[in-house]
Structure 1
Amino acid sequence: MIVRILGEGQFDITDACFESLNSLDDAVEAAVEAGDVEAFRPALAALLAGVRAEGVPHAADALDESDLILPPEDASIDEVRAMLGDDGLIPG
């Protein structure tokens, strides 16, 4: 699966990574739902760091469509709220 972090690039993520990424995504979703900006910022940073750590950078010259799009690390809580689906940022 190809995951894009806006403003940063794409990463190839295996299905095995999604359990750990979903727990990080749950923390982002909980902070957004609670309107807790103090918890939101580190939760989003941890999710994006998890994608970077678990993923492999996708070839920069490849023109492949992303399966998931994540906000940049400096996104506001309102911007992320607008991106959230029923399953958070990462389905599953």
Structure 2
Amino acid sequence: MIVRIMGEGQVILADGHLAELNKLDDELLAEMENGDGPGFRRTLQALLTRVRELGEPLPDDSLEPSELILPSPDATLEEVREFLSDDGLIPG
């Protein structure tokens, strides 16, 4: 799966990592629903860090269709709400 982190670029991520990332996504969603700004910021950073660690970056000049788009690390709670689907940021 090709994942884009807004403002950073794309990584290739094996589908086998989605379960781990969904746990962080669920935490993020709960923090957003509870208005926990510090928790939201911490979990968003953890999610993006994990995507970077597990994924392999595509070259900067490569532009592949992204199957998943994640917000930038400095995105606000309100901006992240715009990315959400019924499943959160990550489907499944």
Please give the range of the TM-score, normalised by the shorter of the 2 chains.
over 0.9
Q: How does 1:53-72 map to 2 (within 5 A)?
A: 53-72=53-72
**Is 2:1 aligned against 1:7?**
no
Counterpart residue type for residue 45 of structure 1: Q
Count of residue pairs the alignment pairs up? 92
Structure 1: gaps spanning 5 or more residues: none
Structure 2: gaps spanning 5 or more residues: none
- The runs of at least 4 consecutive aligned structure 1 residues that moved more than 4 Å come to none
Classify the secondary structure of the residue corresponding to 1:11: strand
**CA-atom RMSD in angstroms:** 0.8
**Is 2:45 aligned against 1:22?**
no
Report the Cα offset of residue 63 of structure 1. Answer: 2.2
Superposition TM-score, scaled by structure 2 size: 0.95
Question: In the aligned structure 1, how far is the partner of 2:59 from the partner of 2:67?
Answer: 15
Report the Cα offset of residue 35 of structure 1. Answer: 1.2
Counterpart residue type for residue 31 of structure 2: A
Question: In the aligned structure 2, how far is the partner of 1:8 from the partner of 1:89?
Answer: 17
Report the Cα offset of residue 60 of structure 1. Answer: 2.2
Superposition TM-score, scaled by structure 1 size: 0.95
Question: In the aligned structure 1, how far is the partner of 2:84 from the partner of 2:13?
Answer: 20
Classify the secondary structure of the residue corresponding to 1:24: helix
